[in-house]
């Protein structure tokens, strides 16, 4: 029996997850990636041997991201080497914020809130009461509700110091526009997926060294053909199943971006294509600063954002095993700042950094990056396209219908799910 052939179009985390799973199922896998490197939106810039590597944006995972962690382990990544894992901790530049003690996630949530004396007791009790209400309603809510409306009854300090930073970090969408249902789902998984599910996992390796490179080695060793610099232009039906730029495959998984998938499917599945093509996107900017000899008070620090202070989080890459003296400031939901431009956003972030931290040497802008289509806008009532497009044609990607916002976990789950739908060999 020859293995059946599956083409995977796109080598981001969804495509790599699909390729690993399809190969484990015995499929003969061919992966097409239009860029020079695998990794998609979670990749490092530049070649591995060209000095310290910057990522296209700082990524964080949480302990509940089981699919992502199992993918990394499947391709041989040692999670202890790959991540700094710590209980959820919102450290601010000049004071300790909310910090959950180790232990079962729900218990540590209650203990952490009760112990957080920076909030008045009434605010802590109000949060616990509200969270109990979410729990009793099984973390479900009306589909059209946004996060600001969901949390409107909470004290302002809880919304500003907890709900809004978590919302923008997890959904990359401001609370007044973000889907409350998706937000509650992330909270549910963080609090109920067992011990450590709310932990933060901060990559200690450049993103490409974390997944793309070990996955490429793992896949190549199993005979997977990887074609880089190859943009798939045409997808048509053929007697074997599907023709991808003239090559025949029994099955195809489209793991490219929603916009590219919409173009490839415009004629073969117009309704699916128009749903995929209608998704709106939110940008993320990353401002890298350099300051020799300086350190932040923690590897990850939450910041007070304002009209003139763009960043919500800062990362000390020296404390994450990269380059001492290098810092990544992250601007999520960055539409307004993208409009102002790279130079103005970099300068505003530099001023924010000077105002909020003490530096050993004055920081300087090292690089400003803008990913204009970083994540789909996770708005209430969003209709996302399903994984099944046509018989033998599947979609994988963080945007495919599922419970998660645009995250690595959403991408990996979609990739695993598409491969699990392939007929058994
Ligand atoms: C700056 C930034 C910060 C982020 N922070 C976080 C975070 O902290 N935590 C988190 O969980 N998530 C985060 N995300 C989101 C996360 O990166 C994405 O959800 C995830 O990488 C999406 O993976 P994907 O495989 O679905 O899509 P992609 O990574 O976009 O992969 C699609 C791939 O398809 C390729 N492709 C497109 N068209 C074709 C074609 N025609 N032929 C061949 N190849 C094609 C593309 O080149 C690309 O490699 C962040 C994203 C950005 C940009």
**Whether residue 229 sits in one domain with residue 187:** no
Domain span including residue 211: 5-77+205-279+383-420
**Whether residue 291 sits in one domain with residue 275:** no
**Whether residue 123 sits in one domain with residue 248:** no
Task: Kindly give, in sequence order, each residue whose CB lies less than 8 Å from that of residue 90, ignoring residues fewer than 6 positions away.
Answer: 97, 98, 99, 161, 162, 165, 302
Is residue 47 over pLDDT 80?
no
Residues 365 and 350 sit within 8 Å (Cβ to Cβ): yes
**Whether residue 390 sits in one domain with residue 270:** yes
| Least confident among 3-17, 129-143, 182-196 | 182-196
The number of distinct structural domains making up the chain is: 3
Residue 193: predicted pLDDT: 84
**Whether residue 286 sits in one domain with residue 271:** no
**Whether residue 347 sits in one domain with residue 412:** no
Instruction: Render pLDDT for 238-280 as a digit per residue (tens, 0 to 9).
Output: 999 999 999 999 999 999 999 999 999 999 999 999 999 999 9
| Residue that is last in its domain, among 198, 219, 244 | 198
Average pLDDT over residues 295-303: 97
List the one residue out of 202, 127, 177 whose CA is nearest residue 157.
Answer: 127
pLDDT: is 246 or 305 the higher one?
Answer: 246
Q: Is residue 111 part of a domain?
A: yes
| Residue that is last in its domain, among 344, 359, 376 | 376
**Whether residue 181 sits in one domain with residue 92:** yes
**Whether residue 394 sits in one domain with residue 272:** yes
**Whether residue 186 sits in one domain with residue 37:** no
Residue 266 alpha carbon to ligand 1 centre in Å = 21
Task: Tell which atom from ligand 1 comes closest to the C-alpha of 263.
Answer: 41
Residue 151 alpha carbon to ligand 1 centre in Å = 30
Is residue 367 over pLDDT 70?
yes
In total, the chain counts a number of residues equal to: 425
Q: Is 122 exposed, middle or buried (0-12, 13-18, 19+ CB in 10 A)?
A: exposed
Measured from CB, residues less than 6 Å from any atom of ligand 1 are 9-15, 32-35, 40-42, 56-57, 59-61, 231-232, 255-257, 260, 284, 286, 371, 374-375, 397-398, 406-411
Residue 48: predicted pLDDT: 65
Instruction: Render pLDDT for 188-233 as a digit per residue (tens, 0 to 9).
Output: 999 888 889 999 999 999 999 999 999 999 999 999 999 999 999 9
pLDDT band with cut points at 50, 70 and 90 for residue 354: very high
Residue 374 alpha carbon to ligand 1 centre in Å = 7
- Return the best residue to mutate from 41, 266, 332, 399 for the ligand 1 pocket (most ligand atoms within 8 A of CB): 41
pLDDT band with cut points at 50, 70 and 90 for residue 116: very high
**Whether residue 367 sits in one domain with residue 411:** no
Residue 322: predicted pLDDT: 87
Q: What mean pLDDT, rounded, does the chain reach?
A: 95
Task: List the structure tokens of 408.
Answer: 């690595």
Closest protein CA for atom 51 of ligand 1: 374
* CATH code, domain carrying 212: 3.50.50.60
Average pLDDT over residues 92-116: 91
Report the alpha-carbon distance of residue 162 to residue 190 in Å, rounded.
Answer: 14
pLDDT band with cut points at 50, 70 and 90 for residue 50: low
Residue 46: predicted pLDDT: 78
Q: Is residue 83 part of a domain?
A: no
CA triplet 135, 136, 137: central angle to 5 degrees? 90
Q: Is residue 425 part of a domain?
A: no
**Whether residue 108 sits in one domain with residue 66:** no
Helix axes 66-74, 408-420, angle to 10 degrees: 70
First to last CA, the chain: 9
86's enclosing H/E stretch is strand 83-86
Residue 263: predicted pLDDT: 98
For residue 47, the 8-state DSSP code is -
- Return the best residue to mutate from 203, 256, 413 for the ligand 1 pocket (most ligand atoms within 8 A of CB): 256
Q: What percent of the chain lies above the pLDDT cut of 70?
A: 98
* CATH code, domain carrying 289: 3.90.660.10
Average pLDDT over residues 99-120: 92
Q: Is residue 82 part of a domain?
A: no
**Whether residue 241 sits in one domain with residue 222:** yes
Q: What percent of the chain lies above the pLDDT cut of 90?
A: 92
Q: Is residue 165 part of a domain?
A: yes
Q: What is the dihedral of CA 238, 241, 247, 252, to 10 degrees?
A: 140
Residue 12 alpha carbon to ligand 1 centre in Å = 5
């Amino acid at each position: 029996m020859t293995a059946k052939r599956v083409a995977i179009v796109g080598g981001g985390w969804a495509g790599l997850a699909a390729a690993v799973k399809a190969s484990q199922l015995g499929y003969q896998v061919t992966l097409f990636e239009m860029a020079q490197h695998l990794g998609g939106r979670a990749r490092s810039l530049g070649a591995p041997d060209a000095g310290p590597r910057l990522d296209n944006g700082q990524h964080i995972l949480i302990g509940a991201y089981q699919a992502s962690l199992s993918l990394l382990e499947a391709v041989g990544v040692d999670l202890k080497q790959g991540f700094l894992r710590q209980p959820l901790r919102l450290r601010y530049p000049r004071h300790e914020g909310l910090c959950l003690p180790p232990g079962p996630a729900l218990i540590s949530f209650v203990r952490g809130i009760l112990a957080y004396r920076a909030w008045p007791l009434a605010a802590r009790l109000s949060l616990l009461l509200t969270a109990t209400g979410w729990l009793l309603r099984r973390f479900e809510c009306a589909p059209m509700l946004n996060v600001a409306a969901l949390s409107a009854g909470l004290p302002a300090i809880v919304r500003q110091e907890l709900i809004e930073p978590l919302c923008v970090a997890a959904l990359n969408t401001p609370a007044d526009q973000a889907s409350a249902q998706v937000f509650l789902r992330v909270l549910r998984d963080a609090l109920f997926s067992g011990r450590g599910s709310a932990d933060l996992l901060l990559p200690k390796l450049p993103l490409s060294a974390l997944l793309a490179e070990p996955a490429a080695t793992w896949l190549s060793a199993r005979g997977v053909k990887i074609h880089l610099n190859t943009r798939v232009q045409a997808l048509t039906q053929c007697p074997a199943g599907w023709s991808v730029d003239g090559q025949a495959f029994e099955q195809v998984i489209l793991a490219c971006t929603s916009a590219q998938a919409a173009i490839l499917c415009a004629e073969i599945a117009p309704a699916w294509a128009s749903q995929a093509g209608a998704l709106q996107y939110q940008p993320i900017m990353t401002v890298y600063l350099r300051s020799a000899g300086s350190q932040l008070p923690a590897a990850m620090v939450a910041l007070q954002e304002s009209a003139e202070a763009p960043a919500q989080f800062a990362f000390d890459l020296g404390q994450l095993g990269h380059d001492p003296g290098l810092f990544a400031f992250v601007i999520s939901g960055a539409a307004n700042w993208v409009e102002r431009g790279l130079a103005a956003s970099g300068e505003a972030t530099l001023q924010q950094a000077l105002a909020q931290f003490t530096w050993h040497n004055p920081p300087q802008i090292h690089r400003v990056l803008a990913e204009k289509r970083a994540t789909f806008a996770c708005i209430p009532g969003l209709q996302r396209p399903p994984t099944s497009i046509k018989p033998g044609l599947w979609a994988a990607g963080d945007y495919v219908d599922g419970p998660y916002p645009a995250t690595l976990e959403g991408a990996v789950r979609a990739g695993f799910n598409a491969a699990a739908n392939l007929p058994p060999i």
